[in-house]
Every structure is written in structure tokens, then in C-alpha cells.
Structure 1
Amino acid sequence: MLAWAATCVDRAARVVSVRALHAGEGPWLLRVSSVEVVLRAPTSRIDNDMIATNVAALLMAERHSLPAPRLLGGTLIAGVPVSLETVVPGASGWPARVGVDRLRAAGAAIARVHRISLTPSDLLPWRARPIAVDDFALDRRLGRMPTTPLLAHADALVQGAVPGPSVFVHGDVWPGNMMSSGALIDWKTAGVGHPGVDLGELRKQAFLAHGNDAPRFVLEGWERASDTRATDVPYWDAVAALNTRTECDPPEHTPRRDEFLRAAVARL
């Protein structure tokens, strides 16, 4: 796998260092000669389909000149899908005190993705919620996870899809996937859906990290970049809040998630 990665950079190159980027697992940051690249392959939390979706999403991003990693290669090694991509400039995450401009820029970043109208496909499937590989609301309905009166009430209110455009969505917009350069990384749960899939998740993340006003600035950035008003914002806020474990990790996010969800329910 490492030999293949090296040849994607240069036939004469070799891998000189490897660093796991997630709890001792992939993706992995490789230094190939003097170039840094990211290698992706299945792990305990990433399956074959996610690797394939990430490849398809990076190709779509490049086709539309979106700020994102560029795909250097993809192949099967002993039946296992692997891919290699560039490292984008900038740092991920938000500072402890984030400015209004940064929040608006985050909203604008996902708005650029949503300009791309798409129909679902095998590699970029329909996404009815953020991080669609998880469905914690369904887990609660089936009794696989405890619930609360608030979560059960909100879940009942959002049953049934809302109409809207069918666009390219990133699927997992949180500060760790948003670079200071404006690029988005980690497209393994990308697909096609309503813009609210990303907008609701980003508003939730902003609220958890930075409080009551932060979601408003994210929305302002999205609407300015889109030159349109967002639709069904409370619905998508609720969908994002519901796709969390009953007890959040970290635990201090649980009451804040509930506060965000109550505000959404009050406007449904």
C-alpha cells in the first residue's frame, strides 16, 4: 500500500514517514520524499463504501473547482479500496473565541458546495440527515438507545421529508473538517440532499461551541453566498440535533444540544 502511494507522487519516490490521524488508525499522513499526502483505507470505523464515496466526492469537488483535497489516486489492493489525496493548506478547527467573520465564512463555504445540483448515485447517495452512516433517532425508536421526552417529541415532529433542492452535500460539516483556508476535508459521508443537511449540522456545531448567536452568523454567511433565503431551518436544526447520542460526548454538550433542539421545536 505504501509503495503504491509513493508511485502516485513520483515513480522514484519513497515513503519516509507515516502518522495516523485518528486514534492510531487511518487516515494516515504520509511524507513521500518532500511531499505530504493523505492515505485512506478501511479501518474499524471507516468501511469500503466510505472510501469510495470520498473518492467520488473529491472528483466532484475538483470538477467544480471547490476548495478541497485533490485526488492523486485510487485503487484496490488485495480487494481493499485505498485512495491518496493532497494535503490542503491551513489549520482545521475553530479557536476558543471565534469571530463573526469566521462563522459567516463557514456558512459561505458550504453554500459553495450546495450550488451544485445533483441526482443521487451509488457512490453519492441520498442523504436525509448529516453523518448519514449514523441514525441515532432510529436507534431510540427501536429501543436500542434510551430516549427522553424532548427527543421523542422532536422526532415525532420531523417525520416525513420536506421538499427542497437536490444538491451536493458534504455530510459531516464540523470545525475539524473545515480548514482556515476555506477548504473542506473528509468527504466520506458526502452525497446528495437538501442544503439543510449541512446547514443544520453546522448551525448545531456552532451553537455547541460558541453559543446562542453563532448559528445566526452561519446562516447569514450561507444566505449571502447563496443569494437566497434558507428554507425549513428549524426542521434541519432538529434533524441535526436528533442525530446525536442521547448522552452526548462530551457530556457537557447534552444540555446544550437540548437547548438547541428546544429552540428548533418551538419554531416548527
Structure 2
Amino acid sequence: MSATARKTAPLPDDIRAMKGAAPIVSLTAYTTPMARMMDGVCDFALVGDSVGMVLHGLNSTLGVTMEMMILHGQAVARGLTKTMLVIDMPFGSYEESPAQAFANAARLMRETGAAAVKLEGGRHMAETIAFLVARGVPVMAHIGLTPQSINTLGGYKVQGRAEQGDALMADAKAVADAGAFSVVLEKLPASLADRITAAIPIPTIGIGASVDCDGQILVVDDMLGLFTAFKPKFVKRYATLGEDGEAAIRAYADDVRARRFPGPEHIFADKAPGQ
């Protein structure tokens, strides 16, 4: 069932059931107005730790805190009624132990109303995923290019080429076996993403992967052209709102300096109309 046909937000089991069916639609969201625009259009909205780079000007996602994720998660939750809310676990909030992961995942869900959390990592996170799922925390996994590991990966490189493909296939199977209800595949060769999609029983959500993944996700500011510092190859810009915004600001500044704004229609008389 598509998001536009629903009257209430789907749950993780509904997303899992979309494996091999109509493609799953998702975007990141960080604010209430943006959430309202995608509500009922996307199947799920992800409050991504990309918020650190997109809205806070950080150089990577590593500086994002639990408090930042909760703040933005609460804002997005206010704008959603028909789209499921998923929230990223930030760097350092889950890697130490399954117990640490559960405490922070429970806090994120409790304080934002998110239906699920997303965490990065494959086989080495399988124990943690199983621990969370067994305790009532639905988990979306994330393998391939995992931005929180950017310093050990050596940059934002394509993952899974040549002999790396077998390792990523093993990661995908491990997170599925551990109980994740879906898995994000980021920046993989399309052929590998296709093999993974065919091999595991949970939906794959592609970002720079393959058109044949079970769903797709993009950073909303990328696809709207709001974030213009750089443009990944896998991004299609559906609008140029950043350029439009800059032009609007310049036009406003010109009007103010030329005393064209405010005009008569924008100011108030001494008496109300009709007095």
C-alpha cells in the first residue's frame, strides 16, 4: 500500500512487508514544515544525522549529539501523521555495548515518538541489533558507505567493489538475520546492490545504489537544491530552491535599499478601515 493511500502512519512491519512490492519512498527531514510537505507522500521520513552538515554547518556527522537528534526528531514528529518516523542514532551513542545502544535508542523513541531507530554497521553490529529488537526497538540497518566511519573508510568512496563485495553481502545477511526490518545500502555498485536485494528477506533502501532496490532515500536538502556546498553523483536535484532563495534575498535587499519595500499595501494607517 502506498503512503498516499494510508490514513495512519505505517509501522516497521508494514515497511518490511513492502519487500519486492511497490518501491518504498523516503527522504530525510529535520523540521516541522519539511515534514508536513512529505507527510503522506513518503512511506517513512528519516531524521538523519546528516542534519549536522545540512543545518548546523559541521564538516561531518561525527559532531552530532543525542540532544540535536531529539530536538529535530521532535520537530519532525509534529509534522507527520501518515508517514513513519525513523531517527538516526548519532556517533558514540550505540557502539560501546548493546546496553548503551538500548538506553539511547529507548530515549530517542520515548522523547521523539519515532517508530524505529537507524544505526550504521554490518556484522559487528549484529549482536546489538538483535539485542535492541528483542527489547522492542525496531532497527533499520545501514551498510556500505557509513558516514560515521568516514575516518576509517578513507573518505566518501564507493564501497563493495572487487573483493569488498563478499564482505558487504555478509554484512547484509547478518543484519537481516539479527532482526533489522530494512537496510540502507549507501554508495555501492549497482550490481552488488541488486545481488544483496535478491539475497535478503528485508527491504533494501538505496542511496547511490541501484534503481532495483526495494526503496530509495535522499537527503531532502540535496534533492531540493537547498544544500549547495557539493552535489553527490547519486543526487538528482528536483528543484533549485537554494538559488531561488538567494535571488529572493537579493531582490528584498534591493527593494529595502531603494525604499520600494514596504509599500503602501504592507503598512498600517492611523485608523482601521471604515473608521
| TM band (smaller chain) | under 0.3
**TM-score calculated relative to the size of structure 2:** 0.25
Q: What TM-score do the two structures reach when normalised by structure 1?
A: 0.26
Higher RCO structure (Cα 8 Å, ≥6 apart): 1
Q: Find the structure with the greater CA-based Rg.
A: 2
